Structure 1
């Protein structure tokens, strides 16, 4: 006996009209489901090419790892140390210790940063063939240089808007399409890239700087004024306000969070309220650069990268280069990293940690990830309860 969908019994084995219609409907639904499943399989099979994926991963390198060293340089330093540690390097005696220069320490620190943001690369380093790994490095370099180039191009016009807001009115006006009128030839950009210890407000100083007087050269041995809070330098405390410039924070947020978020930074050195302006960047990008790169906290190298980009945007140089007149960008970049990573003692380390925490608040606000110190966790109510419960389990001594 066969039961129909409407509950009527069909004694002769034939199907009612409702059963036939129901069967057709089920078949159609099944066909639609299979078509959707097929479309899903086709879509999932269209994965990006490995080379394209590697290029995208490389966009983190210049920004977060090393602006001037390539992946090959970092891995070469790693290999050299591994060879020495395993006894493959030649040495005169077993007691001989490896002698490392300051630059080699920085290079290896860059390698550790590389694995921090590209952890998958460790497997490639250990197991890939030479030709295959060479291709990976080329793709990473392509992505790294592409990201740097994009940031340079995007910052070029935007920084003019910020300077106009900060120093309004800017005379003569700076143009967004060219850099010919920037650098030392303009009083605003010249003041910002001038060594902090020079008094740019004096006409005699400006003339000597522009004439490349031997005692007034613009080099990476001096901190540019744009790095300081309120663009003010205290010769009795050169660390006061360093790397707390609103212009630097604006640039960081522009490059790493979203262009629109850069407008949220409170201006430092302004005599009149900044002019309201419309922006082509209406909404913050949900998946901003920092999230894509895995940057959850501001790092010294990301600050150094931003500082170099700002300095280049303020200059009159049209194309990317390592040296601008007497100013060496690579030396400037390394000096910033050393400020954060090479500290003379505990007091300096605490000041650096406080500075990085300040950056985290400025960039990521209250939503930033905060790692609790172990001592705080040990004193928490949860930890106290666990300890107290454990004490209660210990039997008291018999009388």
Structure 2
């Protein structure tokens, strides 16, 4: 009887011990699962944070080529500032001065860049610059595609050419198209003159289109006053439409009359960021960087994109159009006298004369 009781007690003890061991194993397993869940949550949170950070840098980067520098990268801008800091007050080239201006503009446009960059490791800093530049490249591609269709539509609607501009057919664009040629024609020349049209199309002497000539589409009414080349400059309807389409939205370009000073463009940044039904509206460049005013570099950006999108010359690619209209490939072929008569230099001379007259009358 006692032996049977001892056996029963031993069995119960083993059962209790097994139960305790099982409970201990389950507890450790639950603890391990909880630890793994915490690690997974941390990894997921880190992924989300990195993704948000990457999206933020890409969004901020969309403003770089629009406002800061169309062709220079951030590393070149920073390198120029470092060179000046180390080299003292030596003479600088025009290109180096442009890089310095670009860095100043970059610091104003993205004021957080220097602070964040100085606190990062080199690898993190390099990755940040990469994401900024990806955003810049993406914006340029998006803007080019956007204007390619919009500008063709605007030209066809306003000028109703016999041969409509087709954004997908380069042979209907550029100087071969009467409407596009009228807009790209140097403001001091008369596109209605058949000699002028033939000279421009053949790149004849006296009719070479280059960066020293303001194209007609920059002017209000697409016509310049030769006695006052500043009158109406940068107030061309299509130029302002392109500016609005890029910096705010294509819909904001529909009501442009071409006689504003750009204030209405920035006014979009002060409007409510939700639509009437409360849905969120995608931010545009003006909102992303809190842009306060129209800047010279932002105008230059649209000046380059507009002819690029609209006016492909026969047998040429879009990048060649920008070089043809604003490039310097023919600069050495033109005399100094001819260059002085071109609208950019002529305007500078008119300004100098006005300044001299104002000084003499003071």
Q: Same fold (TM over 0.5)?
A: yes
Higher relative contact order (CA 8 A, sep 6+): 2
Distance 1:165 1:72, change over 3 A: same
Distance 1:57 1:287, change over 3 A: closer
**Runs of 5+ consecutive residues of structure 1 not aligned to the other structure:** 1-38, 86-96, 269-281, 349-399
The answer to whether residue 113 in structure 2 is matched with residue 115 in structure 1 is no
Aligned to 1:81: 84
The answer to whether residue 151 in structure 2 is matched with residue 159 in structure 1 is yes
Structure 2: distance between partners of 1:232 and 1:337: 15
Instruction: Provide, for residues 287-320 of structure 1, a one-character-per-residue CA deviation record: whole Å limited to 9, x for no partner.
Output: 3331123212111111111111112122216755
Cα deviation for residue 126 of structure 1 reads: 3.1
Structure 1: distance between partners of 2:143 and 2:78: 26
Aligned to 1:200: 191
Structure 2: distance between partners of 1:56 and 1:338: 38
| Residue from 130, 139, 142 that aligns with 1:138 | 130
Aligned to 1:104: 96
1:180 match: secondary structure: helix
Structure 2: distance between partners of 1:135 and 1:235: 50
1:47 match: secondary structure: helix
Q: State whether residues 80 and 96 of structure 2, in contact with CA within 8 Å, keep that contact through their aligned partners in structure 1.
A: yes
Larger gyration radius, structure 1 or structure 2: 2
Structure 1: distance between partners of 2:345 and 2:100: 13
Cα deviation for residue 63 of structure 1 reads: 0.6
The answer to whether residue 142 in structure 2 is matched with residue 150 in structure 1 is yes
**Runs of 5+ consecutive residues of structure 2 not aligned to the other structure:** 1-40, 260-274, 330-342, 356-362
Q: State whether residues 258 and 289 of structure 1, in contact with CA within 8 Å, keep that contact through their aligned partners in structure 2.
A: no
Aligned to 2:118: 126
Q: State whether residues 322 and 328 of structure 1, in contact with CA within 8 Å, keep that contact through their aligned partners in structure 2.
A: no
Aligned to 2:285: 289
1:264 match: secondary structure: coil
Q: State whether residues 257 and 285 of structure 1, in contact with CA within 8 Å, keep that contact through their aligned partners in structure 2.
A: no
Cα deviation for residue 242 of structure 1 reads: 1.0
2:172 match: secondary structure: coil
Distance 1:158 1:243, change over 3 A: same
Cα deviation for residue 162 of structure 1 reads: 1.2
**Counterpart mapping for 1:290-329 below 5 A:** 290-316=286-312, 320-321=318-319, 324=322, 326-329=324-327
Structure 2: distance between partners of 1:233 and 1:259: 27
TM-score of the two chains, using structure 1 as the length reference? 0.62
Q: State whether residues 180 and 311 of structure 2, in contact with CA within 8 Å, keep that contact through their aligned partners in structure 1.
A: yes
Cα deviation for residue 124 of structure 1 reads: 4.2
Distance 1:344 1:123, change over 3 A: farther
Distance 1:235 1:165, change over 3 A: same
Distance 1:59 1:83, change over 3 A: same
Q: State whether residues 61 and 67 of structure 1, in contact with CA within 8 Å, keep that contact through their aligned partners in structure 2.
A: yes
Distance 1:123 1:43, change over 3 A: closer
**Number of positions where the alignment pairs a residue of Structure 1 with one of Structure 2:** 276
**Counterpart mapping for 1:1-399 below 5 A:** 46-49=48-51, 50-85=53-88, 97-167=89-159, 169-266=160-257, 287-316=283-312, 320-321=318-319, 324=322, 326-329=324-327
Instruction: Provide, for residues 137-175 of structure 1, a one-character-per-residue CA deviation record: whole Å limited to 9, x for no partner.
Output: 2222211111011000011111122112221x2211112
1:198 match: secondary structure: coil
Cα deviation for residue 48 of structure 1 reads: 4.8
RMSD across aligned positions (CA): 3.4
Cα deviation for residue 337 of structure 1 reads: 12
The structure 1 segments of at least 4 consecutive aligned residues displaced by more than 6 Å after TM superposition are 42-45, 336-340
Structure 2: distance between partners of 1:193 and 1:57: 32
Cα deviation for residue 187 of structure 1 reads: 0.5
Distance 1:326 1:262, change over 3 A: closer
Q: Which has the higher mean CA deviation after the structures are superposed, 305-314 or 145-154? A: 305-314
Aligned to 1:366: none
Cα deviation for residue 127 of structure 1 reads: 4.1
